[in-house]
Structure 1
């Protein structure tokens, strides 16, 4: 029924001003950016799961999945460059290509041996696809499963008013100037940026929640999470989504079990993108479509996302037993 939600489990996220929790460490990338990493779960577990969060979020967005899986797997969470506790990056390196390389370096540092499942939400899923293109040798050897949540392999701004405007700006040769303008005004906008406003909640509700899952507690929580990310970060990464296309990497993902979760009312990475990923990968992909949910589906439809992730772990572990 439209407008009806299920009361969410209680959740409060640790503040960035709090001391890093036990199990925290820093992985420094080959271009010198310190990435904040947290390790949790069973240290003796046969499988490690590495979680990559979405754009303008941080690793805390996986808190409910952390609770659900810590009993069965070793868990690694990291803040992507410019987000959360991780360091900033030169503007030219605020790209999905670069975050894919970062993911590979986090993987090498935290899980140098043993089977690994990669889980990514939104930009985190795009980072996984970028890694598959860059280092296909990992998939089917060290990486034995992939969980893609509310993400896209490309074509996010091909249609609609935004798609038309983007094509026009590109045709006129103005896109570099437009992106540079955004980056120049970002510090000024950040200085005077209001937070916690009713307008901000409305925008958060509109863009990141669906028909049936906009519980006020979670709208406010996600608003607070997104508003922690400086506009300088948001503007710097904006260009990479305009050109994002990792369709070719889906061929690599056919080597391992994949679960794709899409939400019917996701306005940022519409469900059609998830369906396209699953169809392209083929029989090795399981598609879970969540009715009424939006982009923040891992928070608002926790039981569905957790069940899908646990089912992928079952498939992975069954495959490992069969291979062993």
Structure 2
């Protein structure tokens, strides 16, 4: 972040702090908005132009975008998987349509080649939902069998039983290994047989790595392709999110305790997040996208998903990223058709982390997308969709052998 941007961000934060100084409740709300987004990988930095646009106008714009935006509206056949701790995990299945779906769409994706007889399982990132794959889902819908699921505490899935004291849980933080077991439960329920392609973005990619670490036989016997998008095998504690090192280190020291305390006052914090929606929107845009002229409807779509994640769920998941290290598990994917794709300007899981994955998997296709941030599948949807279609094509022989 430049000195000017840092000063501007500080001015915005100072103004927000002064406005909220009246009571602890208001102050906690502003802190909750800022820190909750930091935990989601959107740490700081607000577009200056937001200071010059009236709050009423911004509110009307959000309502208009929410009413007209088609993103996140695709639905499939619903189902529920039960995790081994009893958590209900929601998923949807898009089946192949008769004769393989829309012919023009199939030809655009695969040319004269036949789509693979596989199930593609999509895993989303932290503070997102299955709808983050909207464009890829629209392209593959009816052409390839796809499963989209919501990670525990996200979207339509229940909060983890282990995490929820109200459900008799112990308030235990989520681990990446836990997410790998959740993914196994979804596969068992929604794709119990046949070849599978695993696709994961950010935390979803980490979930795929955890699955491979704990269930190597599943990878060996059934998985015929893997796509790891904007993710990391570990060392996330070294990411600075484009901020000065001293500031990031200070945040890391206090954030776990602050998040835990905020999770206990979730009702107040959620009110604060809503009250600071303008600040929140600027932060989300900065840490989700690199393209300056990203479609406002897409930016608002991302904002809606992130702001829809309860603060107690944000707190449940945050410790997992500091402990995450699945570098060794990458060896499970050796010999599989693999796509490693990252946004060149990703501030959340920097592209250097994808480079580490590609170095461990030298036969993987490594795609670095210029002018792309963390939500590359929303920012450059056609490119991501085309690379996934190519992965399915490259996995064809693997799928045939697995089906025998």
Question: Which of 14, 34, 52 lines up with 2:73 in the alignment?
Answer: 14
SS at match of 2:84: coil
Conservation of the 8 A alpha-carbon contact between 1:24 and 1:37: yes
Structure-to-structure mapping, 1:58-73, within 5 angstroms: 58-73=129-144
Question: Which of 278, 292, 309 lines up with 1:198 in the alignment?
Answer: 278
**Counterparts of 1:235 and 1:271, CA distance in 2:** 25
Larger-Rg structure? 2
SS at match of 1:260: strand
**Counterparts of 1:176 and 1:223, CA distance in 2:** 23
The total of aligned residue pairs comes to 304
- 1:49 is the counterpart of 2:120: yes
TM-score normalised by structure 2 residue count: 0.70
More helix by share: 2
Higher mean C-alpha displacement, 157-166 vs 230-239: 157-166
Conservation of the 8 A alpha-carbon contact between 1:212 and 1:293: no
Q: CA deviation at 1:11?
A: 3.4
Structure-to-structure mapping, 1:86-235, within 5 angstroms: 86-89=157-160, 90=163, 91-158=171-238, 160=240, 161=245, 164-165=249-250, 169=253, 177=257, 180-194=260-274, 197-212=277-292, 214-235=294-315
- 1:273 is the counterpart of 2:353: yes
- 1:314 is the counterpart of 2:393: yes
**Counterparts of 2:275 and 2:227, CA distance in 1:** 32
Conservation of the 8 A alpha-carbon contact between 1:158 and 1:164: no
* Alpha-carbon distance change, 191 to 277 in structure 1, aligned in 2, over 3 angstroms: same
Conservation of the 8 A alpha-carbon contact between 2:78 and 2:93: yes
- 1:30 is the counterpart of 2:84: yes
Conservation of the 8 A alpha-carbon contact between 2:71 and 2:298: no
TM-score normalised by structure 1 residue count: 0.86
Deviations 1:275-308 (A, max 9, x none): 111111222x110111001111111101110011
Instruction: Provide structure 2 residue ranges, at least 5 long, that are not aligned to the other structure.
Output: 1-68, 101-115, 164-170
Q: RMSD value over aligned CA atoms?
A: 2.4
Higher mean C-alpha displacement, 179-188 vs 218-227: 179-188
Conservation of the 8 A alpha-carbon contact between 2:174 and 2:317: yes
* Alpha-carbon distance change, 248 to 22 in structure 1, aligned in 2, over 3 angstroms: closer
Which residue number corresponds to residue 74 of structure 1? 145
SS at match of 1:261: strand
Instruction: Provide structure 1 residue ranges, at least 5 long, that are not aligned to the other structure.
Output: 1-9, 16-20
Conservation of the 8 A alpha-carbon contact between 1:297 and 1:305: yes
User: Larger relative CO (CA 8 A, sep 6+): 1 or 2?
Assistant: 2
**Counterparts of 2:179 and 2:196, CA distance in 1:** 18
